[in-house]
A and B are shown apart, each in its own frame.
Chain A
Amino acid sequence: MCFPAKIINFNHILMGKLFGSSLAQKLVMALAGFFLILFLLVHLSINLLLLGDNPETFNRAAAFMSGFWLVKIFEVVLIGGLLIHIIMGITLQIQNWIARPTRYKKRYPSQTSFFSKYMIWTGGIVFIFLFIHFLNFWFVRLGFVEGDHHNFYGMAHQLFSYMGYNIIYWISFLILGFHLHHAFQSAFQTFGLNNRKCTPVIKTIGIIYSILVPLGFALIPFVIYFFK
């Protein structure tokens, strides 16, 4: 065998067992997903500054976010986490489709979590939104796309004055809410945390989070479009 074949087990890669086992993959995915959940809180608090009348506050926050070295490291981890989450999600899903080659003719909709059945689709829609989002902001900063990266405040206000963009934005966050509704509590189950005391609390926090955070994001273009 040639050299790389010795370090990389191609058989494992083909079987999608890059990280050793399905459980290990799931853990990595849940960790990455949970990291994204925490990041969304930071992101939301910065976005809320857009509602202020002073562009400086937001632009300074945005500049701080892009200038500070710790944030730079954080950014790499964040993008890495997102990629890992997506790649793991898709591989696991493909294996799951393969695991049931013949479908049932009749399927009773089980009483269990509704959104848990559509994670790959809600995730996919969130992915499409993220692509548009990166096109708008992140790629501008990297210089891939034209725009003024010193004035994200202006850019955001401009985008939010288009109803078409707002509709895409609102739908995306509704779908993200669906994704998070299952994702939040699912991550804790994957971490192995499940007991009579904590689980009901986790589920409640998950529901509150999956409603309030997307709602918070959605509120910003609403206020800008109708009241500014």
Chain B
Amino acid sequence: MKITLDIWRQKSPNDKGKFVRYELDGVSKEMTFLEMLDYLNDKLIKAGDEPVAFDSDCREGICGTCGLFINGRPNGPVKGITTCQLNMSVFKDGDTITVEPFRAKAFPVIKDLIVDRSSFDKLIQSGGFISVNTGAAPEANSIPIKKEIAERAFDAGICIGCGSCVAACKNASAMLFVSAKISQLALLPQGQTEAKERVRTMIREMDRLGFGNCTNTGACEAECPKEISLWNIAKMNREYYKATLG
């Protein structure tokens, strides 16, 4: 099939950047979205043009590096998937697809579609450590955890740090990401010792890095590839009030 692409091109962080239109023939329904971009880049290189820079690593939805803003939403039109899991079969012959980098002050563009998400690394670092003994893997049954709690923690723990929540939020807020980390550790006994310190420093860091403030619109939950729940944000709010007021 034939696809028209409107892709954001930006040479360097300080370049102004602009949208460039590409007509791409011979796209097959079996391609993934990223394979389609590879295919485009092949053609660009053969024609002596600069290929479109984009990020990817695992290409199976677990590393969180590939996020793109496709036709007005993170990871394109399918719910609960990363960009690398998006298939060209959801598009039709003759479609125009707009591809933009994630936009946020805390995610500056490095080149074309690649953004610098090291602010997420800084957030994780600010969360510090948990006090557990290193060495051999501990006996799994020595700390009993209720099934419901374990599931809640797991549901939060599957966040891959892709940044789709920030990209989708009208306020560019990182609340869903931070809350997934906070609540995962706050739910489990292993995370209790540093729980108060962790939530305080992570919130401080989140504000410092220039993410926006949550207004509970729920866009993050709707677009998160791992479908992390807003429940985690409420949980984080409780943890924060406990740590600062109590």
Residues of chain A whose beta carbon lies under 8 Å from any beta carbon of chain B: 15, 17, 20-27, 92, 95-96, 98-108, 110-113, 116-117, 119, 182, 185-186, 189-195
Contact = CB atoms under 8 A, between A and B. Distances in A.
A95 B213 contact: yes
Interface string B187-217: 0000000000000000110110011111111
Given A110-B219, A117-B217, 15 more contacts: A15-B207, A17-B207, A22-B207, A26-B213, A27-B241, A100-B171, A104-B100, A110-B223, A113-B218, A116-B217, A117-B170, A186-B216, A189-B230, A190-B216, A194-B231
A195 B212 CA distance: 25
Given A95-B212, A103-B103, A108 B234 contact: no
Contact of A102 (B103, B203, B221): B103
B104 interface: yes
B20 to A, nearest CB: 12
Nearest to A191: B237
A119 B217 CA distance: 10
B71 A21 contact: no
Shortest beta-carbon contacts, A-B, top 8? A99-B212, A108-B72, A194-B234, A192-B238, A96-B171, A112-B218, A192-B237, A99-B172
Interface of B: 6, 8, 19, 69, 71-73, 77, 98, 100, 103-106, 168, 170-173, 203-204, 206-207, 210-219, 221-223, 230-231, 233-235, 237-238, 240-241, 244
Contact of B170 (A27, A96, A189): A96
22 contacts: A22-B206, A22-B213, A27-B237, A27-B241, A92-B213, A96-B171, A96-B172, A99-B211, A100-B104, A104-B100, A106-B100, A108-B72, A110-B219, A112-B222, A113-B218, A182-B216, A189-B237, A190-B216, A191-B237, A193-B234, A194-B234, A194-B235
Contacts of B170: 96, 100, 117
Contacts, number: 119
B68 to A, nearest CB: 12
Nearest to B217: A116
Nearest to A101: B105
A112 B169 CA distance: 11
Given A21-B207, A99-B210, A194-B230, A104 B215 contact: no
Nearest to A88: B213
A42 to B, nearest CB: 26
Contacts of B233: 189, 194
Contacts of A116: 215-218
Nearest to A112: B218
A99 B230 CA distance: 21
Contact of B212 (A100, A103, A112, A186): A100
B203 A23 contact: yes
